[in-house]
A and B are shown apart, each in its own frame.
Chain A
Amino acid sequence: DGGITQSPKYLFRKEGQNVTLSCEQNLNHDAMYWYRQDPGQGLRLIYYSQIVNDFQKGDIAEGYSVSREKKESFPLTVTSAQKNPTAFYLCASTGAEGRELFFGEGSRLTVL
C-alpha cells in the first residue's frame, strides 16, 4: 500500500544533540512538508519541498534543516540550535493535482 512512513515513532535526545527524523513516501508525490505540532496549537510548517534538490523555509524553520536528494525522501534534522524541540513532528506530501495533503503517523521527539 502507498503511504508515508516516518521513523522513529519515538525519539529521546539529550540537550545539545542533533537528531534526524526520517520521512519516506511511495506515493510518487512531488511536494513534501514537515510540520510541528504542540499541545493546544495547530500544525505549524517547518520546511517544504516542491521538487527534488529544492526546499523552502516555512513559518518556524529556525533550528531545523532538511534535504531533498530523492523524490521519496525528505529527512528533517532538529539541531541543537532549536530552543524547544520537544514536540510531535508530522511529515506530509501532496501529488501533482495538489488537492489533498497525505500525512505520516508522526514522530514524537522528547529532549531530556
Chain B
Amino acid sequence: AQSVTQPDIHITVSEGASLELRCNYSYGATPYLFWYVQSPGQGLQLLLKYFSGDTLVQGIKGFEAEFKRSQSSFNLRKPSVHWSDAAEYFCAVGRNTGFQKLVFGTGTRLLVSP
C-alpha cells in the first residue's frame, strides 16, 4: 500500500530565509505527487503536482519541488519565505486510477519568525 511520511511536524523559519519541507513516499510504481497548503480553518489549495516528465516542478507562490525517485522523495522548497507562507503543508501521493486512492501525509506546520 502506498504511504507518505512528512517527518517534520513543525518547522520555524525566519522571514526571508530559505525553506525545505520534506516528503518521503512509498509506492510501487511511478507516483502522482502533490503538495497542498492549508491556512487555519480553511480548505486545501494545490501548490504543485508531479505526474511525469521534468523532475523539478514549479508551483504557485514561488514554490518548487523536486521528485527524486532514488530517494523516494518529493521535497518542497522556497528560496525566500514570506510571513504569509505560515500555514500547514501536506504532501500527497496517488496514482492514475483516481483520487480515491490519494494518500495524504500528516502535514508540516510552518511558522515564520520576524
Chain A positions near chain B (C-beta within 8 angstroms): 4, 6, 31, 33, 40-45, 48, 50, 56, 58, 90, 92, 94, 98-101, 103-106, 108
Contact = CB atoms under 8 A, between A and B. Distances in A.
The A interface is mostly helix, strand or loop, or mixed, namely strand
12 contacts: A42-B90, A42-B105, A43-B90, A50-B98, A90-B43, A94-B99, A98-B98, A99-B51, A101-B34, A103-B36, A106-B43, A108-B41
Interface residues of B, number: 23
Contacts, number: 58
B106 interface: yes
Given A42-B4, A42-B90, A42-B106, A56 B45 contact: no
B102 A101 contact: yes
Interface of B: 4, 9, 34, 36, 41-46, 49, 51, 90, 92, 98-100, 102-107
Given A40-B9, A42-B90, A43-B90, A103 B43 contact: yes
